[in-house]
């Protein structure tokens, strides 16, 4: 929704993080530099080091003391990936028990009220799916085009819980799942709005539909989430209601993807299901997470920092490049700037063109024998973007 007028310069915070996060953010930076003169806009980039390696080097926080304020002041945020292993081979944890990298990811989601994690799931024409070591077209482009909207600020990630020591032995652990009416209403309403905005409905029947994924036959939080869903749905009589139990949906999303238009669910369910749904689109190297609120937004690839791939030029840059496109699209709608919306469309078209050509693509999409370096794939996408914007 437009709330401001176009700007000459847009401020973007870049959070490279750890591992391949640093590498894919560099590809995003190069993409932004490419589109600037072609769109007639400028981006003021503010790099903020963060994550596990930052914590190991500084010992107190997983990013600088002024990082929160810099993120709040930015027009939008691009995140690479966080997570690093310590000397024991385990993920680096901070003194408060949180993973080093919590602040830029979950901290930003909570403090900036990025209440909706919006994840598009679609198959690009020509994409081959890597399953059991073989690459073939399993799901067709005409059958998969959905958006999963995950509540992003509470649930099992509310941070309420702890571990009880009994006689010096860590014996009991609790994680309290928090579901509130207010947070549920915001994310559910956004899901219905997205269905309206998309306008094309589910691939199978063309019906606008919001599927609510819950475990309401067992969990009280899901009973409340579904109750709020029914109330919000009444405001959208043109959008069909649909309810799925989470364990059954985990099967249906792969076996009947053509049925789904927009899916809305709670935080942990959404985290797991969107990683599963990424299989439809070629894996997490193709999957984007858009953390959006009313006033702030942060965009990221949903893959992790993958330390074993760091420095080997093997990571798939597509998700980060698509996330950069989603960032431009969000800014374009927020500021009523058609230049940025044009940039978003060009990036999507460029990625689609490279996938359709079948090369160059990284190993996760075509296998080890045909796999191309990250840098070559990113350059191919930028070349296509330049052609789109010529």
Structure confidence at residue 1 (pLDDT): 59
Cα gap 324→329, rounded to integer Å: 9
Closest CA to 69 of 105, 100, 111, 102: 111
CATH topology of domain 139-281: Isopropylmalate Dehydrogenase (3.40.718)
Q: Which tokens sit at 241? A: 């209601």
Cα gap 148→274, rounded to integer Å: 7
Asked if residue 289 lies in contact with residue 80, where contact means CB atoms within 8 angstroms, the answer is: no
Structure confidence at residue 2 (pLDDT): 59
What does the domain layout of the chain look like in residue ranges?
Answer: 6-114+293-390, 139-281
Q: Is the bond preceding residue 291 a cis peptide, omega within 30 degrees?
A: no
Cα gap 47→237, rounded to integer Å: 45
Are 6-114+293-390 and 139-281 the same fold in CATH? yes
Structure confidence at residue 86 (pLDDT): 87
pTM above 0.85, yes or no: yes
Does domain 6-114+293-390 sit in CATH 3.40.50.970?
no
Structure confidence at residue 59 (pLDDT): 86
How would you write the pLDDT of the chain (390 residues) with one tens digit per residue? 556 899 999 999 999 999 999 999 999 999 999 999 999 999 999 999 999 999 999 989 999 999 999 999 999 999 999 999 988 889 999 998 899 999 999 999 999 999 999 999 999 999 999 999 999 999 999 999 999 999 999 999 988 898 999 988 999 999 999 999 999 999 999 999 999 999 999 999 999 999 999 999 999 999 999 999 999 999 999 999 999 999 999 999 999 999 999 999 999 999 999 999 999 999 999 999 999 999 999 999 999 999 999 999 999 999 999 999 999 999 999 999 999 999 999 999 999 999 999 999 999 999 999 999 999 999 999 999 999 999
Structure confidence at residue 70 (pLDDT): 98
Cα gap 21→157, rounded to integer Å: 22
């Amino acid at each position: 929704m437009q709330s401001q007028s176009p700007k000459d310069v847009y401020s973007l915070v870049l959070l490279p993080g750890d591992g391949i996060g640093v590498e894919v953010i560099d590809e995003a930076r190069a993409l932004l530099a490419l589109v600037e003169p072609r769109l007639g806009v400028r981006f003021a980039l503010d790099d903020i080091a963060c994550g596990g390696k930052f914590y190991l080097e500084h010992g107190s926080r997983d990013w600088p003391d002024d990082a929160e304020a810099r993120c709040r002041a930015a027009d939008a945020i691009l995140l690479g990936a966080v997570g690093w292993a310590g000397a024991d081979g385990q993920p680096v944890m901070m003194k408060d028990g949180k993973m080093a990298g919590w602040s830029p990811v979950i901290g930003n989601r909570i403090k900036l009220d990025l209440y909706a994690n919006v994840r598009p799931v679609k198959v690009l024409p020509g994409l081959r799916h890597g399953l059991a070591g073989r690459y073939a077209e399993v799901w067709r482009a005409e059958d998969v085009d959905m958006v999963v909207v995950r509540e992003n600020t509470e649930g099992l990630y509310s941070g309420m819980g702890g571990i009880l020591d009994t006689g010096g032995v860590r014996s009991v652990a609790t994680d309290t799942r928090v579901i509130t009416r207010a947070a549920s209403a915001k994310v559910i309403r956004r899901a219905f709005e997205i269905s309206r905005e998309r306008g094309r409905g589910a691939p199978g029947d063309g019906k606008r539909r919001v599927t609510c994924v819950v475990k309401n036959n067992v969990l009280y939080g899901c009973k409340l989430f579904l109750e709020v869903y029914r109330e919000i749905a009444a405001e959208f009589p043109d959008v069909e209601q649909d309810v799925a139990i989470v364990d059954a949906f985990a099967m249906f999303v792969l076996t009947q993807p053509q049925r789904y238009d927009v899916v809305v669910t709670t935080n942990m369910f959404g985290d797991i299901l969107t990683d599963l749904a990424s299989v439809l689109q070629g894996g997490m190297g193709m999957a984007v997470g858009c953390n959006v609120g009313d006033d702030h937004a942060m965009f990221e690839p949903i893959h992790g920092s993958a330390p074993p791939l760091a420095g080997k030029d093997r990571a798939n840059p597509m998700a980060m490049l698509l996330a950069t496109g989603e960032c431009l699209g969000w800014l374009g709608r927020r500021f009523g700037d058609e230049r940025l919306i044009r940039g978003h469309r060009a990036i999507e078209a460029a990625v689609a063109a490279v996938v359709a050509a079948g090369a160059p693509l990284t190993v996760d999409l075509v296998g080890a024998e045909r796999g191309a370096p990250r840098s070559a794939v990113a350059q191919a996408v930028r070349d296509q973007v330049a052609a789109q914007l010529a």
